[in-house]
Structure 1
Amino acid sequence: MTYKTMMVHLDTSRGAKTRLSFALKLARKFGAHLDGVFAMLDPHPVGFYAMTGAADYYEAHRRFLTQKRREVEGLFRAELTRARVPGRWNAPDGYPVTTIVQRGRTADLVVLGQSRPKDPESYVADHFLETVLLGAGSPVLLVPETSSLEVVGDRVLIGWNGSREAARAIHDAIPFIARATHVTVVAISTVVKAGPTEASCADVVTMLRRHTTHPVDVARFERSLAVSTGDALLRFAIDGEYDLLVTGAYGHARFQEFVLGGVTRAILASMALPVLMSH
């Protein structure tokens, strides 16, 4: 099992180049085709024309967007050639969230960037990450925009709580796990909520050992109620020098929005290493 079709979201933000470099490394590692999909905020003209004197501003914005898109396309094509990775550039029209979700459904792995509130060009739409994570149907690899890791997936940490989402994430991460030199399954409990049983963890380890000849172990600990599960996972990952966290993406649809669970929100807000999530 491997990833043969990967997709990376590109825009004009400062983190796009980091994200592209990261995706190219993975595409080379797995011998995958890489689709670069350009999608960013493109305000609807009706909103501009409704404001007096805004038509010229809108046209200037459109010219700016076209020029920036050409620059990102040039970077993508040049980096594909340099990395000797097969790929394709896509800049489809339409609502950007819908574009990424639909394209993601035909990818083995979707690479997205971390939200950067201080960089306005990284804004795609409200609830962008939530919608893709919970709606694409493919595993999503989230990349910290400051990531400079040369190796990803060498030491893998798996967050296990016995849920369907966690199981889905493990299976989606098998290509990484099979190549990792060390894998740890971590189970977290609190004084008021027990974690998964030892038997459950042992079953996961048994399954994973059939995919790799390298060590697979279990870590169980009780977190303080003052620390969230998401923060406890991230702290454990950083302290243990892991370079990939694998976890379920928890959430549900409410009205017209996707709402993330607390663990997923905490990881998205504070992650300092790549995180593979599946819903």
Structure 2
Amino acid sequence: MPLKDILVHLDATPRCATRLQLAVALARQHDAHLIGLHVVDTVLPVMALADGGGGGALLGDLIEQLRQEGLAAAAGVEAEFRETLRREAINGEWRLVEGSLPDTMALHARYADLAVLSQRDPDDAASGAGLAVEQVLFAGGRPVLMVPYAGTFETIGRRVLVGWNASRESARAVADALPILAAAERVTILAVTAAAVATPQGEEPGADIALHLARHGVPATVLHMTAAGLPDAEVLLNQASEQAADLIVVGAYGHSRLREWALGGVTRTLLQSMTVPVLLSH
């Protein structure tokens, strides 16, 4: 299935321009409809600022002040988005919604083929895009393209590295990324296995999924590596650097422990340490 609608989270942070640039590039490449979603979320700021000592009227005033500030900021973001659509000749639409950012993003992601968000900037507590990733990943039902909070990215999807371990999640990621893989110049399947552990990948890890992709007209090179004490996520990031990959495709893992959505180790490391955009599916 081709990418026909792409949802991009827009806000007033400096990284919004990079996120929009990548979303525009994908929309142009796939002739997709681009949806710019801006969420005026007063929930998290109020929770952080409220002292818990009552004062309903004061809290109401604070919420309204934050709301008006959010709507004012949204006007500038909307103007830039519409100008980008005009300049790039991209079909799209602007959506302004008031509500919880994670829940709103997950809801709107269900009606798009791909959701584009930013990695959370650890030095920017006000950046809300990264806060929504778990909700969108595990409740949105759609793949998520995460854009690193630092760096510039001239291309996306030309040189793709696929992290493969024959799991349900990695199979879902490959299927969701198929339109991007089909347009790529180079696709590499990376299968990382432990030397003494049996895997469901057969005698040649990665060969079966490469054959599946070949039937879809996607030639792929298989790279099988034996773990040498490094976590799988670090091996994946190292290979992305060595191969100058401009996109990583990987399954997202979650466990219901300690909190509603607890990320698996590989997913958590990628979200914290990514150096190139990462497409995740659950």
**TM-score, normalised via structure 2 length:** 0.89
- Alignment partner, residue 96 of structure 1: 101
Deviation at 1:96, TM superposition (A): 1.6
Give the counterpart of 1:70 among 68, 71, 75.
75
Change in CA separation of 1:147 and 1:80 when aligned onto 2, cut-off 3 Å: farther
**Aligned AA (1:193):** V
Deviation at 1:132, TM superposition (A): 1.1
Give the counterpart of 1:278 among 272, 277, 281.
281
Deviation at 1:66, TM superposition (A): 1.7
Residue by residue over 1:178-199, the C-alpha shift from the partner in whole angstroms, topping out at 9 and shown as x without a partner, is 1111111111123453553334
What is the CA RMSD across the aligned residues, in angstroms?
A: 2.3
Instruction: Indicate the percent of aligned positions where both proteins have the same amino acid.
Output: 39
- Alignment partner, residue 248 of structure 1: 251
Deviation at 1:242, TM superposition (A): 1.0
Deviation at 1:124, TM superposition (A): 5.4
Whole-Å Cα distance in 2 between the matches of residues 6 and 183 of structure 1?
22
- Alignment partner, residue 172 of structure 1: 176
Deviation at 1:65, TM superposition (A): 1.4
Whole-Å Cα distance in 1 between the matches of residues 63 and 272 of structure 2?
32
Whole-Å Cα distance in 1 between the matches of residues 258 and 272 of structure 2?
24
- Alignment partner, residue 17 of structure 2: 17
- Alignment partner, residue 142 of structure 1: 146
| Aligned ranges 1:1-279 → 2 under 5 Å | 1-39=1-39, 41-43=41-43, 47=50, 50-51=54-55, 57-123=62-128, 128-195=132-199, 196-199=201-204, 201-212=206-217, 215-225=219-229, 227-254=230-257, 257-279=260-282
Give 3-state SS (helix, strand or coil) of 1:186's partner: strand
Residue by residue over 1:146-182, the C-alpha shift from the partner in whole angstroms, topping out at 9 and shown as x without a partner, is 3422221111111110100000000111111111111
Do the aligned partners of 2:42 and 2:99 also contact (CA within 8 Å) in 1? no
The alignment covers a number of residue pairs equal to 276
Most deviating of 153-162 and 202-211: 202-211
Do the aligned partners of 1:18 and 1:146 also contact (CA within 8 Å) in 2? no
Most deviating of 197-206 and 68-77: 197-206
Gap regions ≥5 residues in structure 1: none
Give 3-state SS (helix, strand or coil) of 1:91's partner: strand
**Aligned AA (2:97):** P
Whole-Å Cα distance in 2 between the matches of residues 192 and 8 of structure 1?
43
Residue by residue over 1:32-91, the C-alpha shift from the partner in whole angstroms, topping out at 9 and shown as x without a partner, is 001111125413769589359666554443332121111111111111111111111111
Give 3-state SS (helix, strand or coil) of 1:219's partner: strand
Whole-Å Cα distance in 1 between the matches of residues 32 and 39 of structure 2?
22
